[in-house]
Amino acid sequence: MWARVKVGVRAAVLALAGGVAASAPVAAEGARPVVVELYTSQGCSSCPPADAFFSTLAEREDVIALGLHVDYWDYIGWKDVFASPLFTKRQKSYARHAGRRSIYTPQMIIHGQEDVVGTHPVDVAELIMRYRAVPAAVTVELERLGAGRVGIEAEAAQGFTQPLTVQLVRYAPSARIEVLRGENAGKTLVYSNIVTEWHNLGEWDPRTPLDIEAEAAGDDPVVVLIQHAGPGAIEAAARLR
């Protein structure tokens, strides 16, 4: 059964984000795009430099940059309007799966496998190059079908012993926030690729091709991730802008 969970920050993001460019099909073929997840917070004083660096990653075609705002800094005086406990849960799940005992901001997770401080651009760049060079074991293609739906096709080039998780992600390309309280009080912060929805579409047995449709209303970009449980390594990713 295909399950779907909607993140409750979409309305806040859309109210603050600008227009979205028209989308076109993109396939993850050959040299795959690398997924970079940034875990950040408007209440974290060390996050703005990472957010600025992340904005440069969001402009790259070879990177799928996803900004996930966590809620565990909200108590110190400023509630992050984009934060979701679901993103905090995902970050904690990464830590458990990797055997780490703590989580932090700003943290970047590279392709579901490596964690790095978000203010270390050299380390991030090296990891992106490393994973960019790894041949894709799974290819995935997306297509807008009209009536607020997207088609998802995927195929595995090698055998897998375990099912893979299919996820659909939506994000707002940019937003500007004036922070009035907390550690960043008085600052105007600019954010990129703010995740607004995260849908778990279910598990896929990669021994057979995947061909499904999913709801994707509106013009926001659409990202599909195919990932090992845990969450673990991301095998494929594709985006429609």
Lowest mean pLDDT among 144-148, 150-154, 199-203: 144-148
pLDDT digits (tens, 9 = 90+) for 59-97: 999 999 999 999 999 999 999 999 999 999 999 999 999
* pTM score: 0.88
Q: What share of the chain has pLDDT > 70, as a percent?
A: 87
CA atoms within 13 A on the CB side of 57: 33
At 31 the pLDDT is: 62
Helix residue spans in the chain (DSSP H): 10-16, 47-58, 85-98, 121-132
